[in-house]
């Protein structure tokens, strides 16, 4: 059930959360499927609804540092520096958890991933519920993340969903673990270059290391309803051949690259990096008819590095 995010709808959603029911809500990254983070039974319902593997921990959303302090053993100095620069916003920080955070939220890890979302509806919902909200993206496990309320309603008929319009970033948060060196466990809406300014020596965890430290990274993600073949930027000729061989294949590419593939109207990813990030999941959910999706890689730079991470993980095959 889609409800415009009015004060009355917010009260209703907050009451549902307090009763242990899941609620769909907007954030600035993508739509979330939320539950009271302190109620293990409520959190279990999120895993069941999504079909999410139980070794994939959830991000806990809070309104501010006072609520955060109730979840973690300590707030290191780096967190204060990161908070000043990036919160509220699309940065998730992994910290040592208190015992009050149920194991189901963190998939048994001794750490909890937290962030302050930059969306008035998300903040008002947490405030009204009076509890931190554990929320993964509001899609069935393995599917592209939802950037609009209608995507959520399609994946979860009957779910109470607050409609706050299309998500501003359209890409999930960047997940970072502190330490020596600090590590990016998942690329996301805050580019690594920006994060490095506050966390000198920051490294991007290798795929193997990210999988070990952030178990969610090992699962298949973002898969569109039909096969997706991703072509590297050096393989434009191979992509042209594949398009010629299959007139029903759908081309997915950035606007600037469209002239490389004349005669095909692509599923457009857009021009500037933030537009490309914003349109990516919508593009993967395209309802245009076609046999399969053939995507042309974007450059791995700034925000586009996160876009490529999503495309690589969505791909059935990489050429
Ligand atoms: P999603 O909820 O789909 O946006 O995914 C959450 C991401 O955060 C996944 O990649 C998880 O592996 C990661 N994550 C959540 N909690 C932790 C944690 N305690 N330690 C490391 N990574 C985490
Ligand atoms: Mg997700």
What pLDDT, in 10s, does the model give residues 67-114? Answer: 999 999 999 999 999 999 999 999 999 999 999 999 999 999 999 999
Q: Which of 94, 98, 104, 133 best tests ligand 1's pocket when mutated (most atoms within 8 Å of CB)?
A: 94
> Residue 208: pLDDT above 90?
no
Count the neighbouring beta carbons within 10 Å of the beta carbon of residue 82.
21
Nearest-CA residue for atom 12 of ligand 1: 216
> Residue 200: pLDDT above 90?
yes
Q: Which are the contacts of 35, defined by CB distance < 8 A and separation ≥ 6?
A: 17, 20, 21, 22, 23, 42, 43, 45, 46, 133, 134, 135
Put residue 114 in one of left, alpha, beta given phi > 0 → left and psi -120 to 50 → alpha.
Answer: beta
Mean pLDDT of 159-178: 97
Is residue 214 within 6 Å of ligand 1 at its C-beta?
Answer: yes
Question: Over pLDDT 90: what percentage of the chain?
Answer: 93
Q: How many Å apart are CA 5 and CA 1, to the nearest integer?
A: 12
* Of the candidates 228, 164, 118, the residue with the CA atom closest to the CA atom of residue 3: 164
Q: How far is the CA of 144 from the centre of ligand 2 (A)?
A: 8
Specify the domain boundaries for CATH 3.90.870.10 within the chain. 2-204
* Of the candidates 164, 145, 121, the residue with the CA atom closest to the CA atom of residue 310: 145
Per-residue pLDDT, 211: 86
DSSP string, 158-182: T--EEE--S-SS-SPPEEEE-SSS-
Contact 139, 146 (CB under 8 A): yes
pLDDT-derived band of residue 215, with 50, 70 and 90 as boundaries?
confident
Mean pLDDT of 4-23: 98
> Residue 168: pLDDT above 90?
yes
Per-residue pLDDT, 92: 98
Nearest-CA residue for atom 1 of ligand 1: 136
Mapped onto helix, strand or coil, the DSSP state of residue 230 is strand
> Residue 246: pLDDT above 90?
yes
Q: How many Å apart are CA 209 and CA 194, to the nearest integer?
A: 22
Contact 204, 121 (CB under 8 A): no
pLDDT-derived band of residue 164, with 50, 70 and 90 as boundaries?
very high
Write out pLDDT tens, residues 20-58. 999 999 999 999 999 999 999 999 999 999 999 999 999
Per-residue pLDDT, 206: 87
Place of tokens 């590095």: 305
Q: How many Å apart are CA 131 and CA 42, to the nearest integer?
A: 12
**Cα angle vertex 174, ends 170, 176, to 5°?**
170
Write out pLDDT tens, residues 124-161. 999 999 999 999 999 999 999 999 999 999 999 999 99
Per-residue pLDDT, 217: 84
Q: Which residues on neighbouring strands pair with residue 268, listed in sequence order?
A: 253
φ, ψ for residue 234, nearest 5 deg? -85, -5
Place of tokens 């070990």: 212
Per-residue pLDDT, 161: 98
Nearest-CA residue for atom 11 of ligand 1: 216
Q: Which of 24, 25, 56 best tests ligand 1's pocket when mutated (most atoms within 8 Å of CB)?
A: 56
Q: How far is the CA of 258 from the centre of ligand 2 (A)?
A: 29
Kind and range of the H or E element at 134?
strand 133-134
Which CATH number is associated with domain 2-204?
Answer: 3.90.870.10
Quick one: 76 exposed, middle or buried, by C-beta within 10 A (0-12, 13-18, 19+)?
Answer: middle
Put residue 297 in one of left, alpha, beta given phi > 0 → left and psi -120 to 50 → alpha.
Answer: beta
pLDDT-derived band of residue 207, with 50, 70 and 90 as boundaries?
confident
Q: How many Å apart are CA 29 and CA 42, to the nearest integer?
A: 23
CATH T-level topology, domain 228-318: Rossmann fold (3.40.50)
Contact 146, 281 (CB under 8 A): yes
Pairing of β 59-61 and β 133-134: antiparallel
Per-residue pLDDT, 219: 84
Q: Which of 214, 222, 314 best tests ligand 1's pocket when mutated (most atoms within 8 Å of CB)?
A: 214
Specify the domain boundaries for CATH 3.40.50.11030 within the chain. 228-318
> Residue 209: pLDDT above 90?
no
Task: Dig out the tokens for 26 from the structure.
Answer: 């907007």
């Amino acid at each position: 059930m889609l409800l415009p995010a009015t004060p009355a709808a917010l009260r209703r959603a907050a009451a549902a959360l307090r009763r242990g029911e899941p609620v769909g809500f907007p954030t600035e990254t993508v739509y979330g499927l939320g539950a009271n983070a302190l109620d293990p039974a409520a959190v279990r319902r999120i895993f069941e609804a999504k079909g999410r593997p139980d070794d994939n921990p959830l991000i806990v959303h809070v309104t501010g540092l006072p609520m955060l302090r109730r979840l973690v053993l300590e707030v290191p100095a780096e967190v204060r520096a990161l908070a000043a620069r990036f919160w509220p916003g699309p940065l998730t920080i992994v910290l040592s958890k208190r015992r009050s955070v149920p194991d189901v939220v963190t998939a048994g890890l001794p750490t909890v991933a937290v962030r302050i979302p930059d969306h008035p509806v998300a903040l008002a919902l947490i405030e009204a519920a009076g509890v931190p909200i554990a929320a993964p993206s509001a899609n069935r496990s393995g599917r592209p993340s939802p950037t609009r309320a209608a995507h959520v309603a399609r994946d979860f008929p009957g779910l109470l969903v607050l409609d706050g319009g299309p998500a501003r970033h359209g890409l999930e948060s960047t997940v970072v673990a502190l330490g020596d060196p600090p590590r990016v466990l998942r690329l996301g809406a805050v580019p690594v270059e920006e994060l490095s300014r506050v966390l000198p020596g920051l490294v991007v965890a290798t795929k193997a290391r990210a999988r070990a430290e952030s178990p969610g990274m090992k699962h298949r993600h973002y898969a569109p309803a039909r096969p997706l073949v991703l072509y590297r930027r050096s393989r434009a000729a191979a992509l042209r051949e594949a398009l010629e061989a299959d007139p029903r294949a759908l081309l997915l590419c950035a606007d600037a690259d469209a002239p490389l593939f004349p005669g095909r109207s692509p599923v457009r990813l857009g021009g500037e990096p933030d537009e490309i990030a914003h349109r990516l999941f919508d593009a993967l959910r395209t309802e245009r008819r076609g046999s399969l999706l053939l995507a042309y890689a974007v450059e791995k730079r700034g925000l586009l590095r996160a876009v490529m991470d999503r495309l690589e993980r969505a791909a059935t095959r990489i050429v």
